[in-house]
Structure 1
Amino acid sequence: MVTLNPNVQNGGDHTYWSVRERSSLCSRGLLKCVVPVLSLLLLCALVGLCAVGVLYFNKGVSLEALKKDISRVAKRFSEQEHNAKETERKYEELKADHRRVEGLLSQCNETCQECAQLEERWLSFGVKSYYFSNNILNWEMSRDDCTKKGGHLVIITSNEEQDFLSSKSGDSRWIGLNDLETEGQWMWVNNQSLAETGVSFWLKRPNDIDEPDNFRLEDPSGENCALLLSEYAAWCDAPCRQRKKYICEK
């Protein structure tokens, strides 16, 4: 049996407790160091989580805003596409209208050409040709227009010619007879007097004044140009400024 030295034993106990005290002190010191570190790490973790949450929230908000922008763009694109289709439809309608108008213009041109041909048509009777106008002019303008056409206002020299012209006129028309230079002295446009032709067809009124009556109520200068009245197959005098149809001859 081994007997320990009390001194040794007491020294060992002292050493043991010294070690434990030092260990206890180190543990407490370590704990004091670890706790702040852990707290700091926890705080960092919380900050990180908050940052992630904020980022996630912002990402969600941005995504929602992006969805709204995409929706607006899609709606605008759809509207633009609709407008483009509507514009294309109207363009096609305008093209169809344009073709229709061109067709009508073509028909009108053909009709106008036919009218021009009819307008320039001269009817033959005996050795003369006659042009019955559709437009209306005063006597002097009628005379000038006949000259442009290579003729002159008609000069009537026979009963047969008077009957032919009356049957074709359909309206009252200027003829080439006037007394512009001397009242009562009727002259044809070729400077031949009415008396020289040997025929006249002034309108006779059984119970009124015969033509020519030089009526001045409408024109103070009187009635100095002659009209053929087709319904009466006769002549009358009228104010030269009146606008009437006319007959040319050549």
Structure 2
Amino acid sequence: MASEITYAEVKFKNASPAAVAEAPPEKKNEHHPQKYPLCLPWLISLLLFLVCIALIIVFLVTPFSRGRAHPTALQQKFMEWQCVSRVLPGKVESWTCCPKGWRRFQEKCYYLSNDLMSWAESEQNCTGMGSHLVVINSKAEQDFLFEELRKSSKIGVNYYIGLHAQVVGQWHWLDGTPLSETAAFWRAGEPSNVDHEMCVVIHTKEVSHNNWNDVICKDHNRICQAEAVTV
């Protein structure tokens, strides 16, 4: 007799269903803001400060607009300057500068000496500073020098100007220009026009603005003059 095969379905309790492989969750493309160093604002502030310092040096100290590539003799001799602001119609602001301790009038600078030299030594001294003995071309300039000498704390008696003669009575400025009678400021009774008085000074003891005197070319104070520097 043939045997019978019986099939049965069997269920086991607590059996877990077949594991399902799960793919890992997709990572979201998160955007993180870029972080800057905390010292960045300080670096920017330092940079701006350095730029300001550079501009001050550029506009107020070093570069004189007249011949930066070819500085004047006056610029080469002095490191400290005093400047005043000037604004001309239709132009940008500029500065007119003289060496520290010099006096300024219009576009010129003046040095009043405290020591004594002969006329020739005085001119040599002025030249060595990039200037020359003063040449007075107007009453306004003469009045300015008169007042400056009165205000000077170390005033001398006589100050050489750039007027002299090689022939008695024939007065010429340093550049060879003859003296104009409309811009001559002699003391009363001067010039003496004698052969031993061939140089001219401003005599500070004179109360009048007409205070020139011809003298022997020996030791006196001096007034040097130079063109102001424009920045």
Identify, as 1 or 2, the structure richer in helix.
Answer: 1
TM-score if structure 1 supplies the norm length? 0.45
TM-score if structure 2 supplies the norm length? 0.49
Which structure has more relative contact order (CA 8 Å, sep 6+)? It is 2
